[in-house]
Amino acid sequence: MQPASSNYLKGAAFGFAAVSVWASWSVVTRLAVTTSLDAWDIVALRFGVAGLLLWPVLVRRGLALDRLGWFGLGVLIAGNGVPYALVAATGLHFAPAYDGGALNPGCLPLFVALIATIVMGEKISTTRILGLSLILVGAVIIVGWHAEGRDAAWSTSRTFGDVLFLIAAFLTACFTLVMRQAKLDPLHAAALVSTGSLVIYLPIYFALYGAGYGAGLARIPLADLAIQALFQGVVVTVISLVLYGRAVVILGTSGGAAFGALVPALSALFAIPLLGEWPTGTNWVGILFISAGVYLASGAPLPRGRGGSSERINRLSITRSPACGGCLRSNGYQLELNSLPAVSTLTGARTVFSLVGKRVGIHSYKPRGASHARSSLLWCL
């Protein structure tokens, strides 16, 4: 069994790699749409490549219409497919990459919470409310203080780009909630979005831009085309998903999601050497607020003193209960498995359960000769 510190470092490495890809998307796309490509080209490359790569996944798993319905499938594709990518990439033509990195992924938890509360009647914890409030303050700071050291034309253009980033965040929130309600795993959802976007968008793109020499993608320098195709279609859409999935398996859902708080700051840092875009002091304040808000809203663990409510339990026995389907029962508590593999397959790994409405991190293992898994409760929120 690996030490907990070693396991955490491995999960942290996967999480940091994933958010580095997400943060670099704003920078790389901003570079593309202000030089040789436009938003329409970016979308064609992203879903043309990813759609072909993920087509076998869709063939094997199907359209999931029994869980989504046609409306749900449409929302899924719109929320993370062509409409989302067009809106976000167009926003990066008008506003700096650090705005995109802060407002687009940064405001996602805010829109998810608003929709879930209004439409689904979900209740939000005090910690999440604090986090969402910080996100809102940070967004207001970034959008509201454009004029510092800039002319009026830049301020108007940037405001339009920022509005597009907020629309993109709203679309992704719709995608997130539909995926959660349908209980789709991320790879299946990515396959549905990418292949659906490929089938719908590519014919429209080639009809508008043409497919001959000097038209459409053929007009783009080969080096730029290859870099963007690899980055947009493979690194962003597939590799980052695998990296984040590994982080969640090792660290748990909340632990993995907490790394999303790094995206706004990393986007700003990457933009400095690659684009020469330097955030102002006010921008950094807004980014700090959003990052702190994302961390709290993700349900990530907070440090606790010795007198805190977190308790340590040794050798917690866990057995699968046929009475509650995918649930597990232990010491009179009902635990809902939050990842697909059975506990017996999670030897040496860390996963996340829901214990009486509270997140619980569990290190699961199976001693030699034991008939069932035993676990140590690591932390409780």
67-104: pLDDT as tens digits: 999 999 999 999 999 999 999 999 999 999 999 999 99
- Identity at 117, one-letter amino acid code: T
Domain ranges of the chain: 4-297, 313-380
Amino acid 248: pLDDT: 78
Per-residue pLDDT at 291 exceeds 50: yes
Report the mean per-residue pLDDT for the chain: 78
Amino acid 152: pLDDT: 54
Across the range 258-266, mean pLDDT stands at 89
Per-residue pLDDT at 271 exceeds 90: yes
Q: How confident is the model at residue 124 (pLDDT cuts 50, 70, 90)?
A: confident
Amino acid 303: pLDDT: 64
> What phi and psi values does residue 215 have, to the nearest 5 degrees?
-125, 155
Task: Provide the 10 A C-beta neighbour count for residue 62.
Answer: 11
Separation CA 306–CA 291 (nearest Å): 27
Q: How confident is the model at residue 179 (pLDDT cuts 50, 70, 90)?
A: confident
Sort residue 299 into left (φ over 0), alpha (ψ -120 to 50) or beta.
left
All residues at 6 or more sequence positions from 290 whose CB lies less than 8 Å from its CB, including other chains? 102, 103, 106, 107, 134, 135, 138, 139, 142, 264
Across the range 48-64, mean pLDDT stands at 94
Amino acid 21: pLDDT: 94
Separation CA 145–CA 159 (nearest Å): 10
Separation CA 358–CA 96 (nearest Å): 39
Per-residue pLDDT at 375 exceeds 60: no
Amino acid 342: pLDDT: 32
Task: Provide the 10 A C-beta neighbour count for residue 128.
Answer: 17
Separation CA 128–CA 290 (nearest Å): 13
> What phi and psi values does residue 338 have, to the nearest 5 degrees?
-100, 0
